[in-house]
Structure 1
Amino acid sequence: MNKTILFDLDGTLIDSTSAILESFDASFKIHNKPTPSHEKIKSLIGHTLDDMFLALGVMPELVNSYFLAYKEHYHGIYLAQTTLLPYAKEAIVEASKFAKLGIVTTKGSAMLENLLKNLGIFSYFKAIVGRQDVIKPKPDAEPINTALSRLNMLDKKHLAFMIGDTPIDTMAAKNAQITPLSLLCGYSNYEILSQTNDKIFTNPLEAVIFAKNFKE
């Protein structure tokens, strides 16, 4: 297989919105602070948790405390409150027929295997890159390059695609010199996505079909 398809998770293949929002609420309540707007939290999904807490007004010296509170709550609910998005399984199965597949996400690395196994899709991916697998997360190129290296596909970047739902995924793909494919099924809209990418699709299956038909 000469092609590579890398997928983001949240808003691309999975919906874990309720678990994320509930865990942010729990973290702020533990610290006796008002819970942030859920719309504001959703607009930040795709960034690292540290950056999300900073953007929500948490003082830098308190971010780790909020992070730990979030993590403790999230780990108790994330499997039950995470589902595959429409067309996600179909996209993965179709992509596996012609490309090597990987996951590139800012989610914590430790939970990824259990999450993907619980969703029944773990076996499709030969490279899984989470937050703790890299020094610099997306939009830096490091996570994508790490995944391509693990797949032994660094020399075929012209046939590699990053499918994601936010401009962060687009920027990471461009920084790594691979093709970004943007989705409308997640946390960004067409107006936002079109500022950085002209390849925009409704769902991951549409993006996979584009990659399948892509010619060198």
Structure 2
Amino acid sequence: MKYNTIIFDFDYTLADSTCGIVSSFNHAFSRMEIPGYDSESIKRTVGLSLDEAFMQLTGNKDEARIKRFKNLFREKANEVMSKNTVLFEDTVSTLQRLKCDGINTGIVTTKYHYRIVETLNTHGISDLVDVIVGGEDVKMPKPSPEGLLLAIDSLKAQVSDVLYIGDSLVDAQTALAANVDFAAVTTGTTKENEFSQYPCVKILENLSELFNQ
């Protein structure tokens, strides 16, 4: 492998948090007397910041409403998110193999940092990830390259030695903005042909394919 550092998005790249995400969205919407949304509509916002997801779904850009939504979302997510997050079948084996091969690993996500820590601890794999950059660790969310570059700097890696893996066009845009190689994985809502507008060194059906030559 030409890379010494591999950084992952989280939702729909390493894990499926659909149940917790949908529950938290609709809890917040219910409390705000906003009609709920179906699972597929909500899934398509995963990877965006909560602010952007709210605006995309509701068309409402009122800052006070967005703030209330985020607080209500977090309230429910604290209750349901980690216990309803399921790692993909090959997530642990992929991280273990990278660790055995001496490759640095990281997670860069719009999800809260503490939520990722909680999930990794729940599954007993916190030792397999060297750095986490969550939504609250940056001033600008993806597709700003800030989080990815912060992770790279923390790992003391060179941009040319890094591969970022994600499931969405936002992830592809983030890698491009950071001048980092990108591999798409089609375990989210984005189809293979949709990634053609961005440079991808690989398009994977699952993480295990990362090791195919």
Whole-Å Cα distance in 1 between the matches of residues 125 and 183 of structure 2? 21
Alignment match of 1:67 (pick from 65, 70, 73): 70
Does structure 1 residue 98 correspond to structure 2 residue 99?
Answer: no
- Identity, in percent, stands at 29
- CA drift of 1:95 comes to 1.5
- Residue in structure 1 matched with residue 179 of structure 2 by the alignment: 177
- CA drift of 1:2 comes to 6.4
- CA drift of 1:195 comes to 2.5
- Residue in structure 2 matched with residue 192 of structure 1 by the alignment: 194
> SS in structure 2 opposite 1:162?
strand
- Residue in structure 2 matched with residue 166 of structure 1 by the alignment: 168
What is the aligned length?
Answer: 208
- CA drift of 1:194 comes to 2.5
Alignment match of 1:148 (pick from 149, 152, 165): 152
Whole-Å Cα distance in 1 between the matches of residues 146 and 135 of structure 2? 11
Whole-Å Cα distance in 1 between the matches of residues 37 and 3 of structure 2? 45
CA RMSD of aligned residues (A): 1.6
- Residue in structure 2 matched with residue 85 of structure 1 by the alignment: 88
Gaps of 5+ in 1: none
Mapped contact 1:194–1:200 kept (Cα < 8 A): no
- Give the aligned residue type for 1:114: E
- Structure 2 length-normalised TM: 0.92
Alignment match of 2:128 (pick from 119, 124, 131): 124
Decide whether aligned partners of structure 1 residues 98 and 206 sit closer, same or farther in structure 2, where only a CA change above 3 A counts: farther
Instruction: Please say which of residues 190-199 and 83-92 is displaced more in the overlay.
Output: 190-199
- CA drift of 1:109 comes to 1.8
> SS in structure 1 opposite 2:104?
strand
- Residue in structure 1 matched with residue 34 of structure 2 by the alignment: 33
- Structure 1 length-normalised TM: 0.91
